[in-house]
Structure formats: C-alpha cells, structure tokens
Amino acid sequence: MQRRHLLATLASGAALAATPFARAQGWPEQPIKWIVPYPAGGGTDVIARALAEAMRGPLGQPLLIDNRPGAATNIGADLVAKSKPDGYTIMSADNAVLAFNEYLFSKLPFSPDKDFSYIGAIGKFPLALVVHPDFPAKDFKEFFAYVKANPGKVNYASPGNGSPHHLAMEMFKNRTSTFLTHIPYRGAAPAMQDVMGGQVPCMFLDLASGLQIMQSGKVRVLAIGSGARSKLLPSVPTLAEVGVRDSEVFAFQGLLGPAGLPAATVQRLNTELNRSFSTPAVIKRFADIGMDAMPGTPEQFHQLARAESRRWGPVIKAAGIKLD
C-alpha cells in the first residue's frame, strides 16, 4: 500500500515537473505576429525581417511582420502591452519605447518597465557627428571652437523631434555647454539630403542610415558616439577621445512581448534570437548597416533598457523636450 502511494506521488510530481516542458514543446502551434512600430522598408523593419526569417526554421512557424507605425512608436507598443501573453505577439523595441518616451510624453498608456516581458537585445549602432564638407571645421576641435564662438548660429538637422539623433545632439550640447539650433525633419532621408546639400551644416547620423555617405565623403565625420572606434570608420575618433565625457550615443533594439509571457516561451525565443545572430544572412545584414549584435539574457536586456532610461531622462528634462 505504501509502495503504491509512493509511486503515485512520484508520478504526480513528475507530471507537474513536466508541465512547463510540455508547454514549451507545444509552443508555437501557429504563426507569431512580430510588431514593428515603424513603416515598412526602414532599418528596424529590415532587421526584423532578417531575424524573423532566421528564426522561423528552428521555431517551426512563420514570424509575420506587422508594421504599426505612429505616435513615436507608442501605437505599436501599446498594442503589444495589451496583447494576450501567449507568445504569439512580440515586437521590435528601441530607444523610443524603452528609454525616451516616458519622458517625452506627459502620460503613456503603458509602462516600459512593467508592461512587457523582456526577451533579448538585438543590437546597437552608434551615431556619428557629421558636417557638410564645406563647413569651416576640418576636425572636432575646430568644430567645437566654431560652435562655441557662434552660439545659436549653427543649425543641426535630425529625423524629427525626440529621435535618437535629436537627443544625441542635446546630450552633446549638455556636455559641452554649447548651443546649436535644431531643425527637425520628417525622417532621416530628407535630413541627410539637406546636410549633404549644405542647407543645414551638421547632424548626428546613425551608421545604419548614413554609412555609405560617410564612406563616400559626401559628409565629413568628426567623431563617433561609440565606446571604441568603429571598424567601419577606423580613422574617426570617439567622442570620449576628443574630450566629451559620458558621451556614448547609440540606437539600440531588442525583442519584447506582453508582460506575463511564460518563462519557457521567453527562454525559447531568447535562445533562437541569440542563435540567429550567427546565421550568414543576419551577419551580412548587420555588417551592411554597422550594427553590433548583442546576444545575452532577458535580464541583461532589461538592465540595459532601464540604464538607458536613467541616462537619457535628465538630458530630455534639461532640454525641455515634449512630444504632446
């Protein structure tokens, strides 16, 4: 009798222990919706599609890109935050969702810290300070001296208010006690065109959008906001090298789901995301745009996002930037 009771207890315990494994094995049983909070064809969209293709084989289901642009990424982020936590809705998230918008908007319909399951970081690419080739400064030292001597008279372009490019220059101004005048555009392409054309003399430009024109000489690259020199632009000094403190400025992306995703689902997605970074197609795509892959755990991604939020909050508040 005691033996039968022991066997029954062991069997019951084994069944309970197997439940998460069984759930992990059963998921996914249908296509996964991958929200991209930007229009089709942009950098975030291109990266998501490359990763989705690399992950579909191991997961055994297609990952379908669903572009939901608008409200500085808040439309897509809110949709995901309110989705059922069953592993069938995930999203690409960047600086806007995770670090900027909680300061740029008076009220968000979601909490970047509490309303998402952090799956894993995707990658980051630095922003570089560029000027038109005819600008009267051949290097960073001359640029700094010029803007210092001409407060408010030097304009700078950005893809729009609250963009990483805009905030990178605000951080630069904050750290160097300089004053440049912001000229916001509707996207990176028109901003770059006017800097190349000389209508606006300078901007912070991300490598994903501007690497080709940087390498072609259509703009002059004065400094790069990375922790170390870029292999793609080895002759360009970092902002730290030229004396700008706490000056690493980069755009980063990661993968989120709604809060409450099962731990086994988060782990499976994290595993396949990290594995995708070693596939030839993803390696090539990242190399083409100067993105550095950031394999790691969900916890590391969450820590990065919150650290960036704490770093950028004071910059945004000091500049008095609001998007509503």
pLDDT for residue 271: 98
Q: What is the CATH number of the domain that holds 78?
A: 3.40.190.150
Find, among 89, 94, 24, the residue nearest to 259 by Cα: 89
Is residue 108 located within the same domain as residue 132? no
Is residue 281 located within the same domain as residue 266? yes
pLDDT for residue 149: 96
Q: How far apart are CA 71 and CA 37, in angstroms?
A: 9
* Contact in structure between 163 and 116 (CB atoms under 8 Å): no
246, part of any domain: no
Q: Domain span at residue 42?
A: 30-124+251-319
Is residue 151 located within the same domain as residue 91? no
pLDDT at 291 over 80: yes
Is residue 159 located within the same domain as residue 308? no
Average pLDDT over residues 156-175: 94
pLDDT for residue 145: 97
2, part of any domain: no
pLDDT for residue 245: 86
Amino acid, res. 232: L
Q: What is the CATH number of the domain that holds 202?
A: 3.40.190.10
pLDDT at 75 over 50: yes
Average pLDDT over residues 3-22: 42
Is residue 105 located within the same domain as residue 179? no
Confidence class for position 87, pLDDT limits 50, 70, 90: very high
* Contact in structure between 76 and 68 (CB atoms under 8 Å): yes
pLDDT at 8 over 50: no
Upper half-sphere CA count for residue 227 (Cβ side, 13 Å):
2
Residue pLDDT, tens place only, 14-63: 444 433 443 445 899 999 999 999 989 888 999 999 999 999 999 999 99
Of the listed ranges 10-14, 64-68, 86-90, 117-121, the least confidently predicted one is 10-14
Is residue 174 located within the same domain as residue 84? no
SS3 call for 124: strand
* Torsion over CA: 250, 255, 258, 262 (sign): negative
Confidence class for position 208, pLDDT limits 50, 70, 90: confident
pLDDT at 297 over 50: yes
Is residue 259 located within the same domain as residue 303? yes
Is residue 81 located within the same domain as residue 150? no
Is residue 71 located within the same domain as residue 160? no
SS3 call for 233: coil
pLDDT for residue 6: 42
Is residue 41 located within the same domain as residue 74? yes
207, part of any domain: yes
Is residue 139 located within the same domain as residue 170? yes
Number of domains forming the structure of the chain? 2
109, part of any domain: yes
311, part of any domain: yes
Is residue 118 located within the same domain as residue 256? yes
